[in-house]
């Protein structure tokens, strides 16, 4: 696949997630299953990869926290109605580029926000993009930092995640079920009762997970 062109041997054994992974009906299950997978970019021949450790699910037209709530369709959110396996990147506060994975079949606007990840490959490149000299846990903690470190921007919205310069891969990493916690999402107080839904998934104890100390967390069932 195009995304593997000119990459080093570190990608040996990685399997790009296929469309059937993304087109399942449960956005919650997909958000959970993305934990431990590798978010990979190969822009300008530079490989960067980070293991996903925190996600948030957005359940389309019935979810008041979703950009597509009540069937809303705008120039920005139209990409949410694309087939699962498509990138949705939007600008938050005019500064942060937030990377989301569109899921489900065409015209069902489910999406998963990638909130945090742990660097695996290309940390030097990530630091250059971040304008930093030394790495710490904040380099890919929080959705804005994830995108910045991996070189993802709004210009990449609409790209397929099935091949090319941005994709998500499985390298065989396994997370124990007990290590996965479900919590309310962060920063969606505007969604009323839906802000309390346990739609955020984290790997317990991972230092790259964003937000304050986890509250109202429970093992994912």
Band (6; pLDDT cuts 50, 70, 90) = very low
pLDDT score, position 214: 57
* DSSP designation for 179: G
Q: How confident is the model at residue 118 (pLDDT cuts 50, 70, 90)?
A: very high
What's residue 221's pLDDT?
60
Question: What is the tens place of the pLDDT at every residue in 75-108?
Answer: 999 999 999 999 999 998 778 999 999 999 999 9
Give the Cα separation of 20 and 104 in Å (integer): 9
Q: Which residue has the higher pLDDT, 93 or 220?
A: 93
The beta strands (E) that lie in the chain are given as 15-16, 38-41, 48-58, 86-92, 96-103, 110-121, 166-170, 180-183, 200-203, 218-219
**pTM for the complete prediction?**
0.92
Domain 2-219 classified CATH 3.10.300.10? Answer: yes
The pair of three-digit structure tokens given for residue 157, joined into one six-digit string: 């919205």
CB of 110 within 8 A of CB of 84?
Answer: yes
Whether pLDDT at 1 is above 60: no
Rounded to whole angstroms, the Cα distance separating 166 from 168 reads 7
Residue 29 has pLDDT above 50, yes or no: yes
What pLDDT was estimated at residue 23?
Answer: 98
Q: Are 136 and 142 in contact (CB under 8 A)?
A: no
Give residue limits of the domains in the chain: 2-219
Whether residue 205 is predicted with pLDDT greater than 60 in this model: the reply is yes
């Amino acid at each position: 696949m195009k995304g593997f062109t000119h990459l080093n041997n570190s990608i040996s054994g990685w399997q790009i997630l296929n469309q059937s992974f993304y087109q399942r009906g449960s956005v919650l299950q997909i958000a959970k299953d993305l934990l431990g997978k590798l978010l990979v970019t190969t822009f300008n021949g530079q490989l960067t990869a980070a293991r996903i450790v925190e996600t948030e699910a957005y359940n389309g037209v019935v979810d008041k926290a979703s950009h597509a709530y009540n069937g809303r369709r705008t120039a920005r959110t139209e990409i949410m109605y694309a087939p699962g396996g498509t990138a949705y990147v939007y600008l938050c506060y005019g500064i942060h580029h937030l990377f989301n994975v569109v899921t489900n079949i065409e015209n069902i606007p489910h999406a998963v926000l990638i909130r945090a990840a742990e660097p695996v490959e290309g940390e030097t490149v990530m630091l250059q993009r971040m304008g930093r000299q030394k790495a710490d846990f904040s380099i890919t903690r929080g959705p804005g930092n994830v995108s910045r470190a991996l070189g993802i921007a709004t210009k990449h919205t609409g790209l397929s995640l099935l091949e090319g310069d941005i994709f998500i891969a499985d390298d065989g990493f396994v997370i124990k079920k007990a290590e996965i916690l479900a919590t309310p999402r962060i920063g969606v107080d505007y969604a009323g009762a839906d802000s309390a839904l346990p739609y955020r998934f984290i790997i317990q104890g991972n230092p790259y997970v964003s937000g304050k100390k986890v509250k109202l967390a429970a093992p994912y069932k």
